């Protein structure tokens, strides 16, 4: 019994610490811990939502790879624009689900024209020569761009014995016009770096070893195979960019986001208060313990949202409030089973133990089915709103299982109440004895 009570005290202390950390949401500093603000979605923080449709009809390569490269390029442009916590992701839409779309969310940006100008239409691949001016070094354009590159290939160097090594090399193939330009550049600049830029960002800086007349260049370096694969992808889809068209834009003001945030928080608070009152009035002492467990559930959930971090949207907050109901449901199952055991004449400690044992299978099955549904919703949801709802819901269900079966059980068994009239009243039901 002493060990159980010490463990219950430990849970209370840990729960209080987690709650203090989570309270940073309301501006309360978590002493000794780094400040980690919650990540709010566009509907709560305000900003601009842009939806682009990609034209992949003339794309010869892999569509998924092309869209991944396009997402990286757009994300790089958004970051250069100085947007805090941007979200750039690929979605599939249309009746057949085959349309390729790019979603761009820019928190804090309310000028749509500036956002569209920052993103642009297509990525630009350039080859530049290093030049020195006084004490500074820069790169001069050569006129050789991605439009002259036919493709890039990843190969691996051969060893002296003829076998392949783990050293990656990248082969560039230019079209006839590009081959002529490339020959002229390399013949005049042997020993100089020929830098490769994608959207103004340096992605490779190989040194020209000799004049290359056939339009085929080889890039060697100290990059890993994964880095080489990424570079090949950027070269290919920088040379053959996916055209995108802005199909919709939406601006959410900061005041509208603040209103939605405040309303969501108040809904959660009032929902928790009414739930707590019901549990205490109807289930008495076990209900009070369930309220403490629910407070720990809220604290743990908010801490997880900070640490992952989870982008909280209105839909995500709704899923969080819904998962509180799942946690309450598990406690009610435990209390009802315990009450049945008490009514059968069993001593209180045995009734608590047997009540948890009998309730576990129902709690397990109902929560697992909810988790499976949430995982499928996240996997096939498509949009960020649905994925956010599913992620928060699954996390909430998992945490609620822990608080109901571990925290509530530990607190109940640590009471050590003997079978008496007082204990029977405290573990009574409703407005009866």
pLDDT digits (tens, 9 = 90+) for 317-349: 888 888 887 778 888 888 888 888 877 878 777
Q: How far is the C-alpha of 373 from the C-alpha of 390, rounded, in Å?
A: 9
pLDDT of 26 reads 45
pLDDT of 347 reads 79
Q: Considering the domain boundaries, does residue 178 fall inside one?
A: yes
DSSP 252-319: E-HHHHHHHHHHHHHHHHHHHHHHHHHHHHHHHHHHHHHHHHHHHHHHHHHHHHHHTT-EE-HHHHHH
Per DSSP, helices labelled H in 219-253 are 225-239
pLDDT of 28 reads 46
* pLDDT reading at 163 higher than 80: no
Q: What is the CATH number of the domain that holds 352?
A: 1.20.1640.10
Q: How confident is the model at residue 107 (pLDDT cuts 50, 70, 90)?
A: confident
Q: Considering the domain boundaries, does residue 179 fall inside one?
A: yes
Residues 277 and 208 in one domain: no
Residues 294 and 222 in one domain: no
Question: Is the distance from CB of 114 to CB of 129 less than 8 angstroms?
Answer: no
C-alpha distances in angstroms, 348 versus 12, 43, 149, 326, 339?
23, 50, 79, 26, 9
* pLDDT reading at 30 higher than 50: no
Q: What is the mean pLDDT of residues 385-401?
A: 86
Question: Is the distance from CB of 42 to CB of 105 less than 8 angstroms?
Answer: yes
pLDDT above 90 coverage of the chain, percent: 4
Q: In a 3-state reduction of DSSP, which class is residue 153?
A: strand
Residues 234 and 356 in one domain: no
Question: Is the distance from CB of 323 to CB of 396 less than 8 angstroms?
Answer: yes
Question: Is the distance from CB of 173 to CB of 179 less than 8 angstroms?
Answer: no
Q: Considering the domain boundaries, does residue 433 fall inside one?
A: no
Q: Which domain holds residue 384?
A: 2-40+253-426
Q: What is the CATH number of the domain that holds 202?
A: 3.30.70.3400
* pLDDT reading at 25 higher than 50: no
Q: Considering the domain boundaries, does residue 432 fall inside one?
A: no
Q: Note the Cα 146 to chain centre separation in Å.
A: 33
Range with the poorest average pLDDT among 37-41, 56-60, 262-266, 292-296: 56-60
pLDDT of 354 reads 86
Of the candidates 251, 268, 288, which is a domain's last residue? Answer: 251
Task: Please report, to the nearest 10 degrees, the dihedral formed by the alpha carbons of residues 392, 394, 397, 403 taken in order.
Answer: -70
Per DSSP, helices labelled H in 55-152 are 63-80, 112-119
Of the candidates 221, 251, 281, which is a domain's last residue? Answer: 251
* pLDDT reading at 350 higher than 80: yes
For residues 157 and 191, the model is more confident at 191
pLDDT of 11 reads 85
CB atoms within 10 A of CB 160: 6
Residues 181 and 192 in one domain: yes
Residues 296 and 336 in one domain: yes
Residues 218 and 353 in one domain: no
Question: Is the distance from CB of 92 to CB of 98 less than 8 angstroms?
Answer: yes
For residues 343 and 14, the model is more confident at 14
350 phi/psi in degrees, rounded to 5: -70, -35
| Cα–Cα nearest to 403, from 296, 329, 271, 326 | 296
Q: How confident is the model at residue 423 (pLDDT cuts 50, 70, 90)?
A: low
| Cα–Cα nearest to 101, from 92, 110, 88 | 92
Question: Is the distance from CB of 378 to CB of 394 less than 8 angstroms?
Answer: yes
Tokens (6 digits) for 313: 């949207």
pLDDT of 382 reads 62
Q: Considering the domain boundaries, does residue 293 fall inside one?
A: yes
pLDDT of 184 reads 93
Number of structural domains (the chain) is 2
For residues 63 and 115, the model is more confident at 63
The string of pLDDT tens digits covering residues 166-205 is 788 888 888 888 899 999 999 999 988 888 886 677 877 8
Of the candidates 216, 251, 286, which is a domain's last residue? Answer: 251
Residues 85 and 226 in one domain: yes
Residues 401 and 329 in one domain: yes
pLDDT above 70 coverage of the chain, percent: 79
Tokens (6 digits) for 42: 């566009």
The pLDDT mean for the chain works out to: 79
pLDDT of 199 reads 67
pLDDT of 96 reads 57
- For the chain, the straight-line distance linking the first and the last C-alpha, in angstroms and rounded, comes to 28
The string of pLDDT tens digits covering residues 64-94 is 877 887 787 777 667 655 555 678 888 886 6
Tokens 């509180």 identify what position?
A: 324
* pLDDT reading at 145 higher than 50: yes
Question: Is the distance from CB of 190 to CB of 211 less than 8 angstroms?
Answer: yes
Q: Tally the C-alpha atoms within 13 A of residue 410's C-alpha that lie toward its C-beta.
A: 18
pLDDT of 24 reads 63
Residues 243 and 99 in one domain: yes
Question: Is the distance from CB of 234 to CB of 223 less than 8 angstroms?
Answer: no
Range with the poorest average pLDDT among 126-130, 166-170, 185-189, 418-422: 418-422
Q: Considering the domain boundaries, does residue 431 fall inside one?
A: no
| Cα–Cα nearest to 146, from 199, 107, 92, 185 | 199
Q: Considering the domain boundaries, does residue 62 fall inside one?
A: yes
Question: Is the distance from CB of 404 to CB of 293 less than 8 angstroms?
Answer: yes
Q: Considering the domain boundaries, does residue 117 fall inside one?
A: yes
In eight-state DSSP terms, residue 208 is: P
Q: What is the mean pLDDT of residues 24-46?
A: 62
pLDDT of 119 reads 72
| Cα–Cα nearest to 49, from 93, 92, 110 | 110
Q: How far is the C-alpha of 315 from the C-alpha of 320, rounded, in Å?
A: 9
pLDDT of 134 reads 65
């Amino acid at each position: 019994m002493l060990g159980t009570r010490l463990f219950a005290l430990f849970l209370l202390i840990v729960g209080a610490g987690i709650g203090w950390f989570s309270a940073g949401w309301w501006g309360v500093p978590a002493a000794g811990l780094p400040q980690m603000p919650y990540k709010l979605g566009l509907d709560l923080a305000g900003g601009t939502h842009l939806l682009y449709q990609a034209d992949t009809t003339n794309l010869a390569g892999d569509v998924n790879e092309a869209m991944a490269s396009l997402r990286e390029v757009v994300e790089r442009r958004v970051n250069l624009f100085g947007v805090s916590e941007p979200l750039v992701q690929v979605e599939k839409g249309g009746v057949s689900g085959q349309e390729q779309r790019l979603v761009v969310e820019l928190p804090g940006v309310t000028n749509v024209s500036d956002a569209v100008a920052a993103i642009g239409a297509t990525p630009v691949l350039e080859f530049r020569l290093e030049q020195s001016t006084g004490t500074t070094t820069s790169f001069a354009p050569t006129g050789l761009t991605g439009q002259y590159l036919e493709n890039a290939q990843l190969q691996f160097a051969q060893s002296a014995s003829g076998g392949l090594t783990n050293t990656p090399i990248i082969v560039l193939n230019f079209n006839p016009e590009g081959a002529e330009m490339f020959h002229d550049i390399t013949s005049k600049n042997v020993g100089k770096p020929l830098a490769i830029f994608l959207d103004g960002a340096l992605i490779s800086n190989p040194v020209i070893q000799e004049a290359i007349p056939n339009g085929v260049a080889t890039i060697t370096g100290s990059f890993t195979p994964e880095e080489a694969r990424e570079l090949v992808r950027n070269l290919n889809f920088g040379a053959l960019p996916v055209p995108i068209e802005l199909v919709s834009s939406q601006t959410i003001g900061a005041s509208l986001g603040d209103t939605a945030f405040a309303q969501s928080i108040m809904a959660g608070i009032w929902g928790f208060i009414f739930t707590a009152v019901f549990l205490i009035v109807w289930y008495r002492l076990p209900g009070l313990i369930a309220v403490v467990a629910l407070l720990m559930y809220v604290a743990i959930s908010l801490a997880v949202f900070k640490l992952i971090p989870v982008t909280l949207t209105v839909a995500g907050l709704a899923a969080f409030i819904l998962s509180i109901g799942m946690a309450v449901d598990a406690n009610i199952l435990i209390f009802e089973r315990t009450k049945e055991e008490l009514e059968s004449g069993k001593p209180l400690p045995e009734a608590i133990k047997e009540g948890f044992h009998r309730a576990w299978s129902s709690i397990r099955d109902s929560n697992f089915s909810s988790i499976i549904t949430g995982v499928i919703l996240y996997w096939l949801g498509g949009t960020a709103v649905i994925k956010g709802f599913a992620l928060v819901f699954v996390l909430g269900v998992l945490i609620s299982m822990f608080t109901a079966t571990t925290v509530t059980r530990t607190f109940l068994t640590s009471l050590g109440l003997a079978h008496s009239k007082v204990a029977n009243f405290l573990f009574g039901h409703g407005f009866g004895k």
